[in-house]
Chains A and B, each alone.
Chain A
Amino acid sequence: MTINVNSLPQVELFGQGNVGCKGCGAAIAGRQAMKVLGERTIITIPASCMATLGGSNTRSAWRVPFYHTLFECAPAVSSGIRAALEIQGIKDVNVVSWGGDAGSADIGFQSLTGAAERQENIIHVLYDNEMYMNTGGQTGSQTPIYAITSNGSLGKKVRKKNMLAIMEAHGIDYVASANIAYPEDLMAKFQKAAAKKGFSYIHILAPCHRGWGIKPEETIEVARKATECGLWELFEVDEGKRTRTYEPKLIPVADYFKAQGRFKNLTDEQIAEFQKFVDDYYGKGE
């Protein structure tokens, strides 16, 4: 499936008037996804920037049904929505739960694993800015090792939890990583997920310039570097079949780390560790 930018629907189902920061990576992810998901979509978003930037008092930034859920339970709520649609005979609706890294991998993990195990006919999105940005940028399980956060001035001591591997282990219909710097790849993955009868999981790298210590205009550029250096691999596991969907240029990982304030304490040795890991992974090691 290839996506042609010029033939995408003009209608903006989400994005215009959202109250996010300028250069918001989460909002970019939402816009790209909605171009494919379309107006027959119901979206639930647990506590997160994405939930708060989408609605204010009696106004919503969404043109589809949107529900700002409690923190722990968006996939459970979406399961109930799907059930209600089925009992009413309402078909051809994408039911999406869209959590941040906290609402998916940490406080929201229980309901996510529950819904995935049940093979609910929903798409769950983890939009990943690698820290708890809605509360100011604290460390979470998706924060990478060594990254400085608002409550971790010395940098994280342990690795990022591999959510893609965890979700793949559920044996669900579709698992994919994505990156807002690669919209065609991201949108093709949403197209595939929407066509599945069971559970799909899409994990989107969506930088937050405030948390990452970059300039707003660098949001896409730094996201792209994450993939091009090999650290954020773009792949999918489509009914068990794993495919890399983009071959990175494998630029030095230092280019990615040195662009960001959150990694300012990284030593050359630590960067070399990462480089070795990436080289080994892509078969370029000794």
Chain B
Amino acid sequence: MALKQLPIVPSGDPGGLAESANAGVQRINRPVISDATKIDPIVILFCPDGAISLDESGFVISYKFCKGCGICAKESEGIVMVPEYTGPKGIF
């Protein structure tokens, strides 16, 4: 029997979910920065997924983590939600 290499105590690697995140599968709309000068930095703390951050280059949105909830666009100017899918709509 080929056994998986598992820790003795059932447990996970720190930050492991962040490394492999693919939050995009949940996304219907994505946040896009329309005017960075108008973004209220408080939205960094409103994001459930740590998907928006502020570094030397300015605000950065990570589409690896963003699930597209739209809180940032709702709570701040300078961010708009745009549809992930813009192709033709039909009957499924």
Contacts and interface: CB of A to CB of B under 8 A. Distances in A.
A239 B54 CA distance: 37
B7 interface: yes
Given A16-B18, A17-B20, A6 B54 contact: yes
Given A59-B20, A61-B17, A5 B71 contact: no
Given A15-B48, A28-B48, A220-B46, A60 B71 contact: no
A56 B67 CA distance: 18
Contacts of B71: 23, 28, 216-217, 219-220
Size class of the contact patch on chain A: 35 or more
A35 B45 contact: yes
A5 B55 contact: no
A9 B41 CA distance: 13
A31 interface: yes
Contacts, number: 131
Contacts of A212: none
Interface string A97-141: 000000000000000000000000000000000000000000000
A215 B62 CA distance: 22
Interface residues of B, number: 40
A88 interface: no
B84 interface: no
Contact of A17 (B23, B55, B68, B70): B23
A55 interface: yes
A271 to B, nearest CB: 25
A183 interface: yes
Contact of B51 (A16, A32, A56, A180): A16
5 contacts: A22-B26, A22-B49, A54-B17, A61-B15, A63-B15
Interface of B: 6-7, 11-21, 23, 26-27, 41-42, 44-51, 53-55, 62, 65, 67-71, 73-75, 81
